[in-house]
A and B are shown apart, each in its own frame.
Chain A
């Protein structure tokens, strides 16, 4: 009897329970700030349904967790902390009741609830596909996303622009293996299967930039296969459409013209399209091994959203792409250093 706490068994019982409550509360605390790519931070109806389902399942899971821990604590306290240590008499009938209710009936009810919730969510998400305001093709490639607006003849990469507050249809295709598109703030995952078109309806309720990822392991650089979904006002969206429909600008200075020649003679044009750039030796207006670069520098990221768009990152990507994304189809280019400066100047005009 040398420990003062032991004199009050009730306090001792409360301590672990308190800790338990504190720790379960802790699991709920890290709610994401705005625009974090989290499914618990829904910014559109599709993601809202997914988040509702998540919280529903979290609620059921928490109840079961508390029930199990409660039973565990009750079992631990039983016959201890001041009462007799003699084991209670065996009651096989009671044991069987625990098995039937806790082992069969309860799991059955839980599974039916979760299944019902999931079906309801699927139905709710598929009923979103009404009256899409725009149609966008997204083609998963090795390891980047090609984005096409067939109605406007726009081809871009790793960036989807959508008008805010209206549904937009995304048609998903794969050029190679199975990928999966996941923009957690806007929608659940949708697999991208070769030789098949899957569609989702995206809607963002707030203006913002939402990051998406490939969510199905697809090879070496799967982890560097991201894209940005830019939800903007309808004016900004139509401005963007107009700008993207234009051909690339013509070089205005000697340095930029030199950069354009570097682009052609180094072989960039063998994989990358720049609309409006035609040369007798290479037609750079219709190749699709690499991203379309017509309005490249207007994008927020490069290399499948693995680098932010900046001159430093661009230079590093050009000369050492295999270090940034080993295994990607972009080879390390090593133009003469002055040519590199000209090439950078040229690429930066492709806005």
Chain B
């Protein structure tokens, strides 16, 4: 009898703790934070995509709120054959396009955003290796 009531008290304590602690778990959501994310180029590319606002026109997996359809979706970009319907989809071409789309097709709808070469490379790293949304949602 003593054994059962003792473990019962422990159980109640654990349940109480779990109930109280569940209220404390803070969820990280929204735009990825530059300072806490690991210093990999892919992660950096993701931060840049969020801060340049690419997701206001493009649907890009893994970027919070990037579900627009005003411009072509960028999911599985590594399977794309041409960039903007004319440039072969290579690493260098994609970086060039992101930096200066107006030089490649003057007057096209994609604006020059002032992306530097390093930043463009990091964005390309993300686009060509983008994980699925499911991967990113898992901690």
Contacts and interface: CB of A to CB of B under 8 A. Distances in A.
B56 A338 contact: no
Nearest to B54: A312
Given A29-B24, A312-B57, A319-B70, A16 B111 contact: no
A45 B106 CA distance: 54
Given A23-B21, A26-B24, A27-B23, A6 B6 contact: yes
B112 to A, nearest CB: 8
Contacts of A324: 56, 68
Contacts of B112: 311
A30 interface: yes
B26 interface: yes
A307 B66 CA distance: 12
Nearest to B109: A337
A85 interface: yes
Nearest to A23: B20
Contacts of B7: 3, 5-6, 12
Contacts of B70: 316, 319-320, 323
Contacts of A27: 20, 23-24
Given A12-B10, A16-B13, A26 B56 contact: no
B10 to A, nearest CB: 5
A314 B54 CA distance: 10
Interface in B10-46: 10, 12-14, 16-17, 20-21, 23-24, 26
Contact of B57 (A13, A15, A315): A315
B88 interface: no
B53 to A, nearest CB: 3
Nearest to A3: B3
B2 A319 contact: no
Interface residues of A, number: 47
A341 B6 contact: no
Contacts of B12: 16, 76
Interface of A is mostly: helix
Nearest to A344: B111
Contacts of B53: 307-308, 310-314, 316
A22 interface: yes
Given A22-B17, A81-B9, A316-B70, A341 B57 contact: no
Central interface residue in A22, A313, A340, by most chain B CB within 10 Å? A313
B13 A17 contact: yes
Nearest to B26: A30
B59 to A, nearest CB: 10
A324 B68 CA distance: 8
A323 B69 contact: yes
A9 B68 contact: no
Central interface residue in A9, A315, A324, by most chain B CB within 10 Å? A315
A143 interface: no
B65 to A, nearest CB: 9
Interface in A332-346: 337-338, 340-341, 344
25 contacts: A3-B3, A3-B7, A6-B2, A12-B7, A12-B10, A16-B10, A16-B12, A16-B16, A16-B17, A19-B13, A20-B17, A20-B20, A29-B24, A76-B12, A81-B2, A85-B1, A307-B56, A310-B51, A311-B53, A311-B111, A311-B113, A313-B53, A314-B53, A319-B70, A323-B69
Interface of B: 1-3, 5-10, 12-14, 16-17, 20-21, 23-24, 26, 51-57, 68-70, 102, 106-109, 111-114
